[in-house]
């Protein structure tokens, strides 16, 4: 529920609304917006309480409207939070007019590999370096990531090459440690509904890149984002990374392009796309990256490896440094065509 007061309403009128809400054991939340003063209630309100409460609030001086929020999530919804959120990660803004490119290898493999990756993606214009230290793999026999050594390398490379870093965290008990090594946490598709992980990541207050689960509906996805926001995160970026495909013969997943404008409409959180996991083959990644920017994405995350054929994970979908450089040029042109930039 959102209670709207006239712009410029005196503080005692605002306080009265807050008191009425608090007296019923609910938590009022100040909602940013320019047109009116808006006070939200995030908790579930049963119909028996909702309608009499709305009548009581509407009778208060200064209150001119009460909106019943129809979505199952509140903090993540644009209904509740009209102003577009711009997430800041070590000085990089995601969600503003500039589309942000995050790039790097699937996994951190060695000092040489991550330094070379950081240099080439930064030189081509990427603003964040990606690289997994903990890799959630379908098979327990596949490379699981360098783990602590990977975190050490990410910290060093972020400092030495001066680039913001993002890495996946898979265990709630590791959240605090991972926060000490990188600028942004990634919650992977497989963990989108790992509620203990969402709560720990939310409590950390660190920026979070939340990937959509491959079979999650948009409401399930935004409820996962709601967990992060409810537990204290304010810098949350959504990432569409492909849903289960009808046919795996030619593509790994199906990047749900539809989800991009829809998420931007129903949520205030920035939305980026991951065409690498979305289509799963390097030769098609540039087309889908351009499609995502054209569809309104606030950025893309691209897997780039200095030598894809030697990659320990996801080499088949990783771009070479040259292919990434070419993609960056074309992304700038596509962004300009939808009144955005890639700078």
Rule CB under 6 A: which residues touch ligand PEP?
106, 132, 188-190, 211, 241, 274, 277
Residue 150 interacts, among Mn ion, ligand PEP, none and using kind-specific CB cut-offs from 5 to 8 Å, with: none
Residue 81 interacts, among Mn ion, ligand PEP, none and using kind-specific CB cut-offs from 5 to 8 Å, with: none
How many whole angstroms separate alpha carbon 176 and alpha carbon 173?
7
**Nearest distance from residue 163's CB to ligand PEP, in Å?**
17
- Helix residue spans in the chain (DSSP H): 11-23, 47-58, 111-124, 148-160, 175-181, 195-204, 218-230, 259-266, 275-279, 285-294, 321-337
Q: What is the DSSP code (8-state) at residue 97?
A: S
Query: For tokens 């005196």, what's the residue?
Result: 10
Query: 102-131 mask for Mn ion (x: CB under 5 A)?
Result: ----x-------------------------
**Nearest distance from residue 285's CB to ligand PEP, in Å?**
13
Q: Of 54 and 228, which has the nearer Cβ to ligand PEP? A: 228
Cβ–Cβ < 8 Å for 76, 67: no
Backbone angles phi, psi at 271, to 5 degrees: -125, 120
Residue 94, sorted as left (phi over 0), alpha (psi -120 to 50) or beta, turns out to be beta
* Span near Mn ion by CB under 5 A; candidates 27-35, 46-54, 98-106, 325-333: 98-106
Binding of Mn ion at residue 133 (CB under 5 A)?
Answer: no
Residue 256 interacts, among Mn ion, ligand PEP, none and using kind-specific CB cut-offs from 5 to 8 Å, with: none
* Span near Mn ion by CB under 5 A; candidates 42-50, 146-154, 231-239, 311-319: 311-319
Side-chain half-sphere exposure of 16, counting CA atoms within 13 A:
15
How many whole angstroms separate alpha carbon 219 and alpha carbon 27?
23
CB-based contacts of 143: which residues, under 8 Å, 6+ apart? 107, 135, 137, 312, 313
* Span near Mn ion by CB under 5 A; candidates 145-153, 216-224, 230-238, 306-314: 306-314
Binding of Mn ion at residue 314 (CB under 5 A)?
Answer: yes
Residue 211 interacts, among ligand PEP, Mn ion, none and using kind-specific CB cut-offs from 5 to 8 Å, with: ligand PEP
* Span near Mn ion by CB under 5 A; candidates 29-37, 77-85, 309-317, 318-326: 309-317
Binding of Mn ion at residue 209 (CB under 5 A)?
Answer: no
Give the tokens for residue 183.
């600028």
Q: Of 226 and 314, which has the nearer Cβ to Mn ion? A: 314
What residues make contact with Mn ion under the rule CB under 5 A? 106, 314
């Amino acid at each position: 529920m959102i209670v709207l007061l006239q712009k410029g309403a005196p503080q005692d009128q605002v306080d009265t609304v807050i008191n009425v809400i608090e007296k019923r054991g609910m938590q009022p939340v100040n909602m940013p917006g320019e047109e009116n003063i808006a006070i939200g209630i995030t908790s579930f309100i049963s119909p028996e309480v909702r309608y009499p409460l709305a009548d009581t609030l509407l009778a208060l001086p200064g209150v001119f409207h009460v909106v019943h929020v129809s979505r199952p999530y509140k903090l993540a919804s644009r209904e509740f939070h009209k102003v577009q959120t711009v997430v800041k990660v070590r000085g990089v803004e995601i969600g503003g007019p500039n589309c942000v490119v995050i790039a790097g290898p699937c996994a951190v493999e060695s000092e040489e590999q991550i330094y070379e990756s950081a240099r080439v993606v930064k030189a081509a214009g990427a603003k964040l370096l990606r690289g997994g230290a903990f890799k959630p793999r379908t098979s327990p026999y596949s490379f699981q990531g360098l783990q602590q050594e990977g975190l050490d390398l990410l910290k060093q490379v972020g400092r030495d090459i001066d680039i913001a870093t993002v890495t996946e965290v898979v265990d709630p008990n590791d959240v605090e440690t991972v926060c000490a090594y990188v600028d942004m946490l990634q919650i992977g598709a497989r963990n989108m509904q790992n509620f203990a992980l969402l709560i720990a990541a939310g409590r950390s207050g660190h920026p979070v890149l939340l990937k959509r689960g491959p079979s999650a509906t948009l409401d399930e996805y935004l409820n996962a984002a709601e967990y992060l926001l409810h537990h204290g995160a304010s810098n949350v970026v959504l990432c569409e990374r492909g849903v289960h495909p009808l046919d795996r013969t030619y593509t790994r997943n199906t990047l749900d392009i539809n989800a991009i404008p829809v998420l931007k409409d129903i949520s205030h959180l920035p939305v980026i796309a991951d065409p690498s996991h979305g289509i799963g083959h390097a030769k098609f990644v540039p087309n889908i990256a351009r499609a995502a920017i054209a569809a309104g994405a606030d950025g893309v995350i691209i897997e780039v490896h200095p030598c894809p054929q030697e990659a320990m994970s996801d080499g088949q979908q990783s771009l070479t440094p040259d292919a990434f450089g070419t993609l960056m040029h074309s992304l700038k042109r596509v962004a300009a065509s939808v009144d955005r930039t890639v700078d």
